[in-house]
Structure formats: C-alpha cells, structure tokens
Amino acid sequence: MGLTIGVDIGGTKIAAGVVDEEGAILNTFTVPTPATAEAIVDAIASAVDGAREGHQIEAVGIGAAGYVDDKRATVLFAPNIDWRHEPLKDKVEQRVGLPVVVENDANAAAWGEYRFGAGKGHDDVICITLGTGLGGGIIIGNKLRRGRFGVAAEFGHIRVVPDGLLCGCGSQGCWEQYASGRALVRYARQRAAATPENAVLLLSLGDGTTEGIQGKHVSEAARQGDPVAVDSFRELARWAGAGLADLASLFDPSAFIVGGGVSDEGELVLDPIRKSFRRWLIGGAWRPHAQVLAAQLGGKAGLVGAADLARQG
C-alpha cells in the first residue's frame, strides 16, 4: 500500500497529513477546529481534501481524544467535543470516499513512535504522553493493544492517590493529576506561593504573580536553575517515575517512551524520571530494566501513527 492520510484533531486546529510507508509527511493541510461536533466532521473532510491534492491516497486514519470503540469506527465519548456514540468513521467515509480508521489519539501517537520513532526495534513498548493530561498506548508483540472494547491504555486515570485530587473524569487521585503539564504548573504555583524568594526568576518570567506562571515559564526557569522550578520538575518526575515502575510490574516492556509537551524539555525531565523509575522499580536487582526513552516525533506522532494504522487496515 502506498500513501495514507493521518488526521490530528487538536483544540485549535485540525491537521491532515499525507504520510508514506516510511513515516515521512509529504504534505499537510490545516483548518481551524470548529465549535460544534457536526462542524468538526466537515472540517476533517476539508483538511483531508486539502492534503490529498495531487496524491494517490488509499486510506485515512483519524486520531481523536476519547474512547474509540473496538471497531475503530465510533467515538463512544470525547472529553472536549460533544461526541457521544458518534459514528465518525461512517460520516467521514461518506465525505471523503476513502476507508477510514478512527483511533484514540494517544494510541495513534504511541504507534507512530513505535513504528518510526523511539520505539523502532522494540517488540513491546509502553508509551506515555505527558501533555496537558497524561495518555498512552500499549504495543505488545508488535501490535497495538486496544483492549476488548477499544478503551485500553487510559494510563492517566489509574488511581495513584486514594482520596486524591479531583479529576475531570469524575474520579479522584488519577495519575494525570500528578504527572502532566497541568500538574507541573500546579507544583510551581504552590511552591512559588509558599516560598516566593525561591522563585524570583520563575515569577519574573510571567506577570509576577503565582497565577501568571505558565508551563513554558517553569521549563525556562528550570533550565536556568530556579529552585522552585527545578523542584517542580522533580516532583513531576517523582510521580511519573513511580507510575512507570507500576507499568513495569504490569507490562514488563523493553522500553518506555515518554512523549508529549512536557517531554520536549528532554533530559531536564527525562533524567529525574529515570531516577524515580529506578527508585520504585520492584525487584530491580533481579530483572532486566526497561529503557526510558524520549519520544522522537514530537507533535507529529499522532498524525503519523494514525496514517500508518490506516495503512495497516
């Protein structure tokens, strides 16, 4: 099979990209994300049409946040779009006249990294995506494992603190409340409020208030050694690494791949995560250790992964 299109549905824009068998993106086309569920279907079709011009396309893969069913056809529930049992595959197929595969966006990104990024050469890989929230994907035996009903790998919602922080999912203590971009900002704001004298640089990067601290400020300040920023990354890593240790007990992969915006900081975050992972890994003296690798495809992993999943059919 030749070229396929991957679609990434973001909060502000929808990107469609033509992807070849090597994972290279040959062409992209982007449209703004509309406000209503129905208009998003139109926008997806527009993006696909814009991208496919001049290319022979064989299938389309769509990465969407939320629960996607076992047939990879229906979005059962989406957190940010009003999709409830939305037959997305059928609707888009009718518009674009091509076979469509729908996949959870974190699953698609995991597949992209496995096929063309940090996971190449591994058969058993667990990916986590530290973005605003925390998502992930499971590759076992060179296959994406979606669960019986399509909703596996919801790593962000395992409970790491009983009676812990409220989560948008309605539960409490979910991992993504402790290991994600949002958590990083919370750590920084709490620490800056308690000890502003240790956050002089961090506060100066924003508007001077604790509420004005954004993720980019924490990263920048941490690179420059701001104590509160460094400690915030360490706290994030404490939770991320402990969670990876749990996933090692469960899945025992040969590698973990850490992606998402937070991982863009590279070793600033990867190094403490590795240390925390080793700290909490059970039986570490008696077993081979999984590698903890930085993702390589950045924000394109989902698009490339979705395209490749469509190619596989």
Cα(195)–Cα(311) distance, integer angstroms: 53
Q: What are the tokens at 209?
A: 């208030």
Which of 67/111 has CB closer to a copy of itself? 67
Which of 79/97 has CB closer to a copy of itself? 79
Position among 38, 211, 279, 298 found at the interface with a copy of itself (CB under 8 A): 279
Residues 180-209 that bind a copy of itself (CB under 8 A): 190-191, 193-195
Q: Give CA separation, 234 vs 21, 187, 221, 231, 272, in Å.
A: 39, 10, 13, 5, 6
Gyration radius (Cα) of the chain, Å: 20
Stretch of residues binding a copy of itself (CB under 8 A), selected from 43-51, 172-180, 258-266, 294-302: 172-180
- Output phi, psi for 45, to 5 deg: -60, -40
67 lies in the site for a copy of itself, by CB under 8 A: yes
Position among 13, 120, 143, 216 found at the interface with a copy of itself (CB under 8 A): 143
Residues 27-66 that bind a copy of itself (CB under 8 A): none
Position among 29, 114, 155, 233 found at the interface with a copy of itself (CB under 8 A): 155
Which of 132/172 has CB closer to a copy of itself? 172
Stretch of residues binding a copy of itself (CB under 8 A), selected from 20-28, 94-102, 108-116, 156-164: 156-164
Stretch of residues binding a copy of itself (CB under 8 A), selected from 12-20, 21-29, 40-48, 147-155: 147-155
Position among 1, 26, 166, 200 found at the interface with a copy of itself (CB under 8 A): 166
Q: Give CA separation, 93 vs 41, 45, 90, in Å.
A: 10, 9, 5
**Beta-sheet strand order (sheet of 134-140):** 143-144, 134-140, 125-130, 255-259, 291-294
Contacts of residue 144, defined as CB under 8 A and 6 or more positions apart, other chains included, come to 107, 110, 111, 114, 137, 138, 309
Position among 25, 37, 42, 76 found at the interface with a copy of itself (CB under 8 A): 76
Report in angstroms how near the CB of residue 95 gets to a copy of itself at its nearest: 25
Q: Calculate the CA 89 to chain-centre distance.
A: 22
What is the SS3 string spanning 7-66?
A: EEECCCEEEEEEECCCCCEEEEEEEECCCCHHHHHHHHHHHHHHHHCCCCEEEEEEEECC
Position among 280, 296, 299, 312 found at the interface with a copy of itself (CB under 8 A): 280
Position among 27, 214, 254, 296 found at the interface with a copy of itself (CB under 8 A): 254
Report in angstroms how near the CB of residue 254 gets to a copy of itself at its nearest: 4
Using the 8-state DSSP alphabet, how is residue 123 labeled? S
Which of 46/177 has CB closer to a copy of itself? 177
Applying CB under 8 A, the site for a copy of itself has a residue count of 66
Place of tokens 């058993």: 124
Position among 1, 26, 39, 161 found at the interface with a copy of itself (CB under 8 A): 161
Task: Let me know if 295 is exposed, middle or buried by CB neighbors in 10 A (0-12, 13-18, 19+).
Answer: buried
Report in angstroms how near the CB of residue 276 gets to a copy of itself at its nearest: 10
Q: How many CB atoms lie under 10 A from the CB of residue 195?
A: 12
Residues forming the site for a copy of itself (CB under 8 A): 67, 76-77, 84, 122-124, 138, 140-141, 143, 145-155, 157-166, 169-172, 174, 178, 190-191, 193-195, 242, 245-247, 249-254, 275, 278-288, 290
